[in-house]
Structure 1
Amino acid sequence: MGHARRKREESAAELPALYALTHDGLERVAADEITQDLHGEVKKTARGLVVFRLSQIDESVLSLRTTEDVFLLAWGSDTLTYRAADLDLFRQWTARKPDWPALFRWHHQIRPLRRGKPTFHLVCQMQGEHGYRRVDAEEAFRAGLRHVLPAGWYEVDENAWLEIWLTIHGKTAVCGVRLSDRTMRHRTYKQEHIAASLRPTVAAAMVRLAGIAPGMTVLDPMCGAGTILAEALTLARQRKGGAPVRLLGGDIDPHAVFVSTQNLGRMGPVGLARWDARSLPLADASVDRLLCNPPFGKQLASVEEILPLYTALAREWNRVLKPGGRAVLLVMEHQALSMALSPFRWTTVRRLALRVLGQPCTLSVWHKPLEESTLPPPAIA
């Protein structure tokens, strides 16, 4: 038995490392998903990045919901100098560090070529101030790959079979072979869209933080395009067993309700209605989990309108949420939200700083107290 275990450990050690690109601020949530759902070992997190290892690499890695993309790791560094000398390092590391044939074999197992000629695409992304341009970094990256790609592969601008990325963020750079495609971040269920629709990976993070269990009633009172409800429905389907989760959603905008109906109708049963979230047609204490992305101040006529809106929403949220229930809320004006919820003694159990639609905002998890109870809030799953 000991020999067999050692062989498994040695085999796992030979597998390439992987990394996930995440929405800024969701790194720990993505790391938790990798650990809990894939039983992976997280090796490092940085801004927008999670490096990890798995005991086996297969299509399950494409099931991650809180990551934008997932890659086989070719090389990585968090010691960039910000100077032009980095360009020589990009060229050398790309040419010499990776075992490219092995990485390509793993890619082909996960994403086999179905038909046609092998095509590839090179992507270079750069954020932050550096002593060189993105085009300079891409030129060095390409030079490092000059003798790596097999003859007969054709470079294309889109829909390539294989993509190799160089991502530079401040002093960190990672290079890898992309295993995911655009559906990991954009999702296939989003057939209809509305302006300022929530990013699916952010919605998936909200759903995970909500700790939804079988038999619960889950509410999104301002559902927009239905992204949060779609992610909740996906998670409920993945976690089979127990009573079904009841999903409810609505919006004051009839077009939003129509879009949600179109997006969710193909996925499963969700109760949708047009309503004013300040006066919900729901019974008191009828909801176990409440998830909401209410309008940001910049979406209204003035920021001053936010506090009255949040105050009215908070009163209704407190009415429909069960004692001991949990709410996951994404807002720009966290102070106004805290003021609105303070009369109800809700407590914050987790806060994450994000940027959504270019604006800094806060993703927060709240616990409604049990009536006349001093029990501490439950831990986040």
Structure 2
Amino acid sequence: MSRSGRPTDDKPLPPLYAMTHGGIESTAADEITRDLGGEVKKTARGLVVFRMEQLTDKVLSLRTTEDVFLMAWGSDSLTYKAEDLDTLRTWTARKPDWEHLFKLHHKIRPKTKGRPTYHIVCQMQGEHGFRRADARTAFTEGLAGKIPNGWHYNNENAWLEIWLTIYSKTAVCGVRLSDRTMRHRTYKLDHVAASLRPTVAAAMVRLAGIGPGMTVLDPFCGAGTILAEALDVAEQRSKAGKVRVVGGDIDPNAVFVTSQNLENVGRADLARWDATALPLETASVDRIVSNPPFGKQLSSIEKIGPLYEAAAEEWDRVLKPGGRAVLLAMEHEGLKRVLQSHRWAQVRQTRIRLLGQPSVLSVWNKPEW
């Protein structure tokens, strides 16, 4: 046996990769490195490739990733031509040790009762000299004879899924270890319009740097996704010092939906309020994490400026000197202008797409004095 507890004749663990929401790759890489102990080898748009010394179900606890895979093969040299189909077919057939990958998958996802089921997924973005249907056919042909006899193909909730993802010049193929609950979460029972993706909310909470004893505020809580992710961090920090999570919304339905979604997550202080007149004491909050309303949610785009100005007055009042805010907004320039008028300093900016629209995730520090 080796020091790690693995038999010395074990085959080496292949790389893993995580799919992320575009724009939060660096935050996901930080989580993989710091919390999982992984070694990040490469990042690309929506993708983080990493290695682990050992494979455990801890990979399923990642909060900022949409899915995690065992890598079968990867390439960043597609030609955009039809000849790429031969490459996809050949690499799928010859490069991976499928038997080894399946055994590793079974370690993390033990087989349930009944006949084993599998599913083949092909995703493609960008212009190529072939259709997605053509890529899927080539991929399926490469997998011929690799799936054990007796396994049943199933489109819904298959035990084992093999994915091919093509984006521009990049193609990556792997065995999915996660399931839909990684990206959708089990707590998300109800939704409101423009509800935030949990993995993006988790990235925002991580960027906030929540520590023991802090008070965290979301003044526009919506369906409570940010609050839920903050409560997850609060639970992790509870032994070192309680974290208080506070949120509210002007919409009574949003407050109700939030209370439902948080029922099995943890306790937050919830209230129906006007975010431009918060019922909170001055300098009582350590972190603000929020996705404020954007123009298309209001009756007119002209209303967003006054809303941001009034909300920023309250943020500046309740946030402690030296405190931090992590904000996600489509109308970033207007938000930036308002916050800079309060002498807040932007320390990070990341462009992402929110509900198909370009948005900016920004991190701000309030001055100490």
Contact 1:71 1:177 in 2 (8 A): yes
Which digits, 9 at most, give the CA deviation of each residue in 1:297-321, with x for residues without a partner? 2222232221111111111100000
Aligned to 2:277: 279
The DSSP-based 3-state class of the residue aligned with 1:14 is coil
- The answer to whether structure 1 residue 308 and structure 2 residue 314 are counterparts is no
Report matched runs for 1:195-344 at 5 Å. Answer: 195-344=193-342
**More off after superposition, 109-118 vs 11-20:** 11-20
Aligned to 1:68: 66
Q: TM-score, normalised on structure 1?
A: 0.94
Contact 2:349 2:362 in 1 (8 A): yes
Q: Structure 1 residue 331: deviation in Å?
A: 0.2
Aligned to 1:105: 103
Contact 1:12 1:54 in 2 (8 A): no
1:268 & 1:33 partners in 2: Cα distance? 22
Where do 5+ consecutive residues of structure 1 fail to align?
A: 372-381
The DSSP-based 3-state class of the residue aligned with 2:35 is helix
Where do 5+ consecutive residues of structure 2 fail to align?
A: none
When the two chains are superposed, the root-mean-square deviation of aligned CA atoms in Å is 1.7
**More off after superposition, 207-216 vs 304-313:** 304-313
**More off after superposition, 340-349 vs 221-230:** 340-349
Aligned to 2:87: 89
- The answer to whether structure 1 residue 146 and structure 2 residue 147 are counterparts is no
Contact 1:117 1:154 in 2 (8 A): yes
Q: Structure 1 residue 6: deviation in Å?
A: 10
Q: 1:216 to 1:168 in 2, by over 3 A?
A: same
1:305 & 1:44 partners in 2: Cα distance? 42
1:162 & 1:334 partners in 2: Cα distance? 42
Q: 1:341 to 1:57 in 2, by over 3 A?
A: same
Contact 2:67 2:179 in 1 (8 A): yes
Q: Structure 1 residue 266: deviation in Å?
A: 2.0
Contact 2:234 2:244 in 1 (8 A): no
Query: How many equivalent residue pairs?
Result: 369
Residue 19 of structure 2, aligned match among 7, 18, 21: 21
Contact 2:237 2:243 in 1 (8 A): no
Q: TM-score, normalised on structure 2?
A: 0.97
- The answer to whether structure 1 residue 40 and structure 2 residue 38 are counterparts is yes
1:293 & 1:174 partners in 2: Cα distance? 32
1:163 & 1:247 partners in 2: Cα distance? 37
Q: Structure 1 residue 238: deviation in Å?
A: 2.6
Which digits, 9 at most, give the CA deviation of each residue in 1:175-205, with x for residues without a partner? 0000000000000001111121000000000
Which runs of at least 4 in structure 1 moved beyond 3 Å after TM superposition?
3-8, 10-13
Report matched runs for 1:340-359 at 5 Å. Answer: 340-359=338-357
**More off after superposition, 338-347 vs 235-244:** 235-244
Q: Structure 1 residue 348: deviation in Å?
A: 0.6
Report matched runs for 1:185-200 at 5 Å. Answer: 185-200=183-198
Report matched runs for 1:120-135 at 5 Å. Answer: 120-135=118-133
The DSSP-based 3-state class of the residue aligned with 1:38 is coil
1:287 & 1:11 partners in 2: Cα distance? 54
- The answer to whether structure 1 residue 179 and structure 2 residue 177 are counterparts is yes
Q: Structure 1 residue 94: deviation in Å?
A: 0.3
Q: 1:245 to 1:102 in 2, by over 3 A?
A: same
Kindly, what percent of the aligned residue pairs are identical?
68
Q: Structure 1 residue 265: deviation in Å?
A: 2.1
Aligned to 1:375: none
